[in-house]
């Protein structure tokens, strides 16, 4: 059986040892939901001296998406740019400027027509002919319409490029739109987030480089390996939700104890992303909004991020009660574990009988939020999924 050890790769690749390189390939394979043996193909593709050309366009954006990429460490930015891809154009990262930069972009597009990867961050203004964003005398709209048909693959990086993001928030005075809404006849991979996790982009590019096709996408064009599950499903605070332990106010005892942030407006129950699994910035455990004590505001989800009020309670989606309920109030004197279990089971039966009415009340934020009432109630739960 062929293993990674038999791949003819130079001992050092951009200062990275052969062992670390092969380990990286295996980890990336697993991160994309592929078998670890797919690391063989990834290693072979990355060892190819011919690097895939990338054209990166920036429109209505804050540069947060590029800043996110700058903070990736496996691979580091210099290894990404010098060994894995050929970034032929980027307003932020290009060494050239002005006419020289535009000439380099045009030459790369002409030399690699049909095979280069187009990455776009930022929304595109469409009102008044798109005059609200111009680069080198051309509107963002005309640049996109000119370059996109010549690309081999198109990736919308960030929420603004994916579906309009903050630029398209009401009242949207510039008529900002996401890339898929403009390129209606093209397949566009969307990597939403504000900013998105850079590894979701890197994994998508690696899949494309290795297998010469896009990863499996959902109906919104998002890679399923990164956006296939609700944040709420993998959140470290989920057991507190199931047990009825909620922070009621910022800084209260529940908040300081790591209780669920649902009642503070956390949008994790209606937002699809891998934030609790992949984290941000390679800065250690808990480095994502909910991990540091702030509710998720749904930046990856159209109609949630930049649309729903920050502290409005989320609509609950696809929630399945756990098989065993953890103790909501441990060490309560005078109540045996058996009675507690029976009470939890009875509460589940009552909620099931109440049906959708209780669930809608909780999801809309109209339920009883008083701390005293919450201490005596389990949260409403979905019917069986």
Residue 364 belongs to a domain with what CATH number?
A: 4.10.480.10
Element (H, E) at 54: strand 53-58
Q: Are residues 91 and 157 in the same domain?
A: yes
Q: Clarify whether residues 23 and 71 are in a common domain.
A: no
pLDDT at residue 20 greater than cutoff 60: yes
In the structure, what pLDDT confidence band is assigned to residue 69 with cuts at 50, 70 and 90? Answer: confident
Residue 204 predicted with pLDDT over 80: yes
The structure's pTM equals: 0.71
pLDDT at 340: 41
Which of the listed residues 226, 244, 272 is the one where a domain comes to its end? 226
Mean pLDDT computed over 266-284: 87
Provide the CB-side half-sphere exposure for 311 (13 A, CA): 7
Identify whether residues 216 and 242 lie together within a single domain.
no
More confident residue, 270 or 30: 270
Mean pLDDT value of segment 176-199: 94
Confidence at residue 98, expressed as pLDDT on a 0 to 100 scale: 87
Question: Quick one: pLDDT at residue 152?
Answer: 93
In this prediction, residue 95 carries a pLDDT of 77
Domain housing 133: 52-226
What DSSP character marks residue 281? T
342-373 per-position pLDDT tens digit: 344 433 433 333 333 333 344 444 433 333 33
Compute the distance between CA of residue 271 and CA of residue 231 in angstroms, rounded to an integer.
6
Buried b (16+ CB within 10 A) or exposed e, 194-205: bbbbbbbbbbbb
Q: How buried is 146 (Cβ within 10 angstroms: 0-12 exposed, 13-18 middle, 19+ buried)?
A: exposed
Same domain, 44 and 58: no
Point out the least confidently predicted range of 9-23, 168-182, 204-218. 9-23
Residue in 203, 168, 242 with CA at minimum distance from that of residue 28: 203
Identify the H or E element spanning 154.
Answer: strand 153-157
Strands (E), 71-127: 86-90, 117-121, 124-125
The total of structural domains in the chain comes to 3
Residue 345 corresponds to which tokens in the numbers above? 């089971």
Q: What is the mean pLDDT of residues 61-90?
A: 82
Provide the mean pLDDT of the chain: 78
My answer on whether 69 and 41 are in the same domain is no
Model pLDDT, residue 178: 96
User: 171 and 85 in one domain?
Assistant: yes
Q: What is the pLDDT of residue 126?
A: 96
pLDDT tens across 82-141, in order? 677 888 898 888 877 888 889 989 999 999 999 999 999 999 999 999 999 999 999 999
Q: What is the pLDDT of residue 71?
A: 82
């Amino acid at each position: 059986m062929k293993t990674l050890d038999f791949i003819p790769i130079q001992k050092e690749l951009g200062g990275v040892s052969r062992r670390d390189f092969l380990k990286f390939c295996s980890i990336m394979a697993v991160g994309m939901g592929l078998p670890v043996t797919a690391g063989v193909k990834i290693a072979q593709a990355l060892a190819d001296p011919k690097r895939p050309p990338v054209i990166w366009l920036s429109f209505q954006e804050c540069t947060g998406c590029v800043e996110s990429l700058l903070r990736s460490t496996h691979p580091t930015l210099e290894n990404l740019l010098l060994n894995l891809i050929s970034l032929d154009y980027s307003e932020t990262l290009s060494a050239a400027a002005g006419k020289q930069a535009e000439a380099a972009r045009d030459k790369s597009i002409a030399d690699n027509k049909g095979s280069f990867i187009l990455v776009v961050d930022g929304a595109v203004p469409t009102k008044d002919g798109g005059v609200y964003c111009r680069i080198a005398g051309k509107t963002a709209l005309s640049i996109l319409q000119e370059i996109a048909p010549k690309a081999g693959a198109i990736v919308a990086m960030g929420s603004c490029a994916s579906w309009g993001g903050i630029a398209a928030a009401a009242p949207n005075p510039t008529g900002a739109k996401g890339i898929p809404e403009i390129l209606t006849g093209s397949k566009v991979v969307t990597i939403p987030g504000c900013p998105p996790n850079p590894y979701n982009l890197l994994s998508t590019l690696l899949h494309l480089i290795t297998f010469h096709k896009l990863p499996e996408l959902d109906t919104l064009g998002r890679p399923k390996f990164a956006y296939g599950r609700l944040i709420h499903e993998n959140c470290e605070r989920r057991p507190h939700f199931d047990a009825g332990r909620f922070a009621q106010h910022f800084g209260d005892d529940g908040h300081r104890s790591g209780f669920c942030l649902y009642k503070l407006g956390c949008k994790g129950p209606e937002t699809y992303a891998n934030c609790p699994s992949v984290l941000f910035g390679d800065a250690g455990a808990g480095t994502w909004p909910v991990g540091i004590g702030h509710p998720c505001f749904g930046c990856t989800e159209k109609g949630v991020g930049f649309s729903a009020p920050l502290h409005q309670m989320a609509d609950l989606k696809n929630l399945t009660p756990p098989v065993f309920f953890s103790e909501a109030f441990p060490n309560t004197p005078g109540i045996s574990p058996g009675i507690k279990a029976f009470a939890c089971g009875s509460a589940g039966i009552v909620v099931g009988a109440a049906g959708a009415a209780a669930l809608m009340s909780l999801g809309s934020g109209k339920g009883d939020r008083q701390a005293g009432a919450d201490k005596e109630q389990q949260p409403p739960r979905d019917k069986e999924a």
